Structure 1
Amino acid sequence: MRFATPVCLEGKKRAGIIVFNLVTNTPLFLQKILETQGNYILANQAGFYLHHPDEAKEWGMMEKLKRSHHNIKQDYPDVAKQILSGKEGLVRLNSG
């Protein structure tokens, strides 16, 4: 994933661009930060997977990639609202 933003001086004069690359397809991406072992899911605010243990479910919002449109709302309808709320908390799934 790549983010870019212009840098301006005194609010007007363009001075350059900052580009930030976020590599999410490495096994230790969030495990070090979260101090967790096992699988994790990274999703955007609409609930589409940026990282998922099942790679076929990733990037469903990208029409040109012709990927499946899996997302949190589809896969976890009972708790999707809570997951996507942005609030900290614990979510219990029927699957465990």
Structure 2
Amino acid sequence: MVLEHLSGYVGLAPGIHQSGDSQKSRGITMRAHRLMRSYFIEASWQAIRTDPVMQAYYRKHIGKNSKTIIIKVARKLLSRTLAVIKTETLYQKGVLA
């Protein structure tokens, strides 16, 4: 639950439009801390270059829109950041989370 609220604050949560039984995804929400979102997106590009697990995750989604993939990587990096804060441990490259 905390990750969903945090990703909504950062702006990496998907926007959803619901009406009755229909539900449509509209990409990421516009309500966001824009500076923090841009920091996580830039950090995601660096994580793809340096972390083999993040690079494998990125390559698994190759063929789709690169902007969509980087948002997925940024959300994964956000969840790792939250785990580092909660457990008070150092970030380790190449560790599955």
The one of the two structures with greater contact order (alpha-carbon pairs below 8 A, sep at least 6) is 2
Larger strand percent: 1
TM-score (norm 1): 0.26
Larger helix percent: 2
